[in-house]
Amino acid sequence: EDDMTEREVTNRIRFGLGFTITQLRRHLGVLDVLAETMEQDGSVAECIAAMEACESISGQDGIMGDYELTRRQKFRDEGTNWVEKVFLGNDRNIDTDEN
pLDDT in tens, 21-32: 888 888 888 888
pTM (whole model) above 0.75: no
| Tens digits of pLDDT across the chain (99 residues) | 578 899 999 999 999 999 988 888 888 888 889 988 998 999 999 999 999 999 888 777 665 567 777 777 777 777 666 666 666 565 655 566 665
Instruction: Judge whether 59 and 26 are in contact, CB under 8 Å.
Output: no
* Residues 6 or more apart whose Cβ sits within 8 Å of residue 96: 88
